[in-house]
Amino acid sequence: MRIEGSTNADAHSVSAELKRKILGGEFQYDERLPAERSIAEQFGCSRGTVRAAMERLEDLKLIERRIGSGTFVRHKLTANETDIANSTSPLELIEVRRGLEVQAIRLAVVNASARNLQAVEKNLIELEALGSRCEPEDFSKADQAFHLSLAECSGNSLMIWLCNHVNDVRCHRQWSAMKDKILTQRQIALYNKQHRAIFEALNSRDINAAEKETIAHLQLAKDDLLGAT
Amino acid sequence: MRIEGSTNADAHSVSAELKRKILGGEFQYDERLPAERSIAEQFGCSRGTVRAAMERLEDLKLIERRIGSGTFVRHKLTANETDIANSTSPLELIEVRRGLEVQAIRLAVVNASARNLQAVEKNLIELEALGSRCEPEDFSKADQAFHLSLAECSGNSLMIWLCNHVNDVRCHRQWSAMKDKILTQRQIALYNKQHRAIFEALNSRDINAAEKETIAHLQLAKDDLLGAT
DNA sequence: AGACATTGGTACAAAAATGGTTGGATATGG
DNA sequence: CCATATCCAACCATTTTTGTACCAATGTCT
């Protein structure tokens, strides 16, 4: 298990995270990245590990490094990254999730194994442990993990695949820009209540309650989205 | 037989779950899986069991293992969406369509333009013109076009994109094999009645009727599928 | 111009982590 | 009883990560 921030990270996860931040626009073009030693401290790993990750990104032509100066973003995307993700608005995303995840929870109630439920509960507990004062970024990640573990319960490969890819969209720019506005302490607390309710319904195999709670959850997310624009 | 011990897992269930996570995209291409020892702990089984499961996945060319480095996803199938298609059963497909298309029709009732409705009607007329004696292959194509034009009405680009790709799955092997059994004259006539009902509901902007008819349509398809196996 | 701090680049050895392997103990079901 | 499967505890070979030290280039200050 890779847990961000709190524990050590290997070269793969470091490069993946940096890549995500660059492609997601968190690090703008031509911007200088933090120093290697600084990133190492931030990830809780050694400088050598960070350098290994950097070499990967350099091979991908995502960054350029200059001795004594720093590391700079030099990405040339457009071709590969102009996928559906970037042209999808957060509102469109919620509408699709409402279709997919409501059906997923219905299947989950029927098909979830004991192990599936344990995984969901684990993610739920981690999510709740973050508390309502956590960083929106951290909450968003844990929230995504929770919802994906719900999809897992469906036992339907196609459903899982779709939920995974649809949730990837959340990492992109338009959504990132709104996270800070929407994910206030108050809303996080509300969301967590709903997460708990969804899990309880699923755990007791109550299909109607599970569906109702999931719809309520996505409806709230949609309302928050509309309120923030 | 395997009694569902809540914690222990045998090689079969471990490999099945890992396979699902790979196919579902939770473990993406080129990503490193958790270490064997870590997976063993997670599943509450021994490392040997995990290794047995891994060997299965290696035989299936799903993963590649490197000493001292780790286990990596080598599944070209995750690279594009047509591959998940081949490993999706018709039943799984119907379940996903039930999620997507029901939501699509709800959005369609709200958002469909006059031009959208004309396109749907055109496809519907063509479908009906085929009659109930047509080739299953031809009906399937026209049916697909009709359903895609419904998705178009949603005005949600992500929804349209997903419905397009999900419907592509129908062109593949497992589905093709069943077409001839299911698409009898009698069933084609039934399906066409439902198509007409869906269009009428959409055209008169009756969201509840549209949803009800769509659910009924997919339910019938599901029942036929179950009956044919 | 010169001193100094900061940056990435390099080298090397110790420590840790990883998959691969072996042998024997312990069930479980035929 | 045997066959199969699982578990456990080692050990091996390889790779990765770490820690440390130092080098070279750059930027900033006096």
Quickly list DSSP for A166-180.
Answer: HHHGGGSHHHHHHHH
Q: Residue A148 phi/psi, 5° resolution? A: -70, -35
Residue bearing the bigger pLDDT, B228 or B227 = B227
**pLDDT tens per residue across span B49-100:** 999 999 989 988 889 999 999 999 987 654 455 556 666 788 899 999 999 9
Q: CB burial class (10 A; 0-12, 13-18, 19+) of residue B6? A: exposed
CA distance A206 to A212: 10
pLDDT digits (tens, 9 = 90+) for B16-35: 888 888 876 678 778 899 99
The pLDDT of residue B103: 97
Task: Provide the token pair at A101.
Answer: 């995840």
Task: Measure the CA–CA gap between B205 and B130, rounded to whole angstroms.
Answer: 27
CA B175 – CA B171 distance, rounded (Å): 7
d(CA A168, CA A77): 18
- Enter the tokens of residue B180: 């001839």
- Asked if B92 and A157 come within 8 Å (Cβ–Cβ), the reply is yes
Which of B23, B158, B168 best tests the A interface by mutation, with the highest count of A CBs <10 A? B158
Q: Provide, as residue numbers in chain A, all residues whose Cβ is less than 8 Å from the Cβ of B42.
A: 1
| Predicted pLDDT of residue A1 | 34
Q: Which nucleotide is nearest to A68 (CA to C1')?
A: C7
Q: How far apart are CA A142 and CA B110, in angstroms?
A: 33
CA distances from A51 to A5, A36, A171, B150, B192 (A): 18, 7, 25, 51, 62
Q: How far is the CA of B47 from the C1' of D18 (A)?
A: 27
Domains with residue ranges and CATH for chain A:
11-73 (1.10.10.10), 84-228 (1.20.120.530)
Q: How far is B134 from chain A (nearest CA, A)?
A: 30
Dist. CA A6–CA A137, nearest whole Å:
14
Most confident of A19-23, A81-85, B7-11, B213-217: B213-217
Contact between A101 and A214 under an 8 Å Cβ cutoff? The reply is: yes
| Other beta carbons within 10 Å of A21 | 15
Q: Which residues of B touch A154 (CB under 8 A)?
A: 95
| Cβ(A209)–Cβ(A60) below 8 Å | no
Q: Is the pLDDT of residue B229 over 70?
A: no
Question: Measured at the alpha carbon of residue A214, what is the angle toward residues A212 and A219, in degrees to the nearest 5?
Answer: 95
Q: What gap in Å lies between CA B69 and CA A229, rounded to an integer?
A: 47
Residue B227's alpha-carbon distances to A192, B155, B224, in angstroms, are 42, 35, 5
Nearest to B162, CA basis, from A3, A207, A212, A95: A95
Task: Give the pLDDT confidence score for residue A81 in this predicted structure.
Answer: 42
**In this structure, is the CB of residue A14 within 7 Å of any atom belonging to strand C?**
no
What does the pLDDT read at residue A24? 66
The burial of B49, by beta-carbon neighbours within 10 Å (0-12 exposed, 13-18 middle, 19 or more buried), is given as buried
Which of A78, A114, A172, A100 is closest to B44 using CA atoms? A114
Taking CA atoms, B218 is separated from B68, B139, B186, in Å, by 50, 16, 16
pLDDT in tens, B128-184: 998 877 888 888 889 999 999 999 999 888 898 888 878 877 766 567 777 777 778
Q: Per-residue DSSP letters for A176-200?
A: HHHHHHH--HHHHHHHHHHHHHHHH
3-state secondary structure A62-76: CEEEECCCEEEECCC
Cβ-defined contact of B96 to A158 (cutoff 8 Å): yes
pLDDT per residue rounded down to tens, chain A (229 residues):
333 334 567 898 899 888 878 876 678 788 899 999 999 998 999 999 999 999 999 988 889 999 989 999 987 654 444 456 556 778 888 999 999 999 999 999 999 988 889 889 999 999 999 888 888 878 888 999 999 999 999 989 889 888 887 887 666 656 666 777 788 888 999 999 999 999 999 999 999 999 999 999 999 998 888 776 6
Q: Give CA–CA dist B178/B168, Å, rounded.
A: 16
Contact status of A11 with chain B (Cβ, < 8 Å): no
pLDDT at A79: 42
Residue B72 has φ and ψ, to the nearest 5°, of: -120, 145
The distance of B126 to chain A (nearest Cα, Å) reads 28
A205 Rama class: left (phi>0) / alpha (psi -120 to 50) / beta: left
**Residues B193-205, mean pLDDT to the nearest whole number:** 96
The residues, ordered by sequence, that sit 6+ positions from B56 with a Cβ below 8 Å of its Cβ are B11, B15
Which residue has tokens 């809540």?
Answer: B6
pLDDT for res B2? 35
Beta bridge partners of A32: A72
**CB-CB contact of A154 with A160 (8 Å):** yes
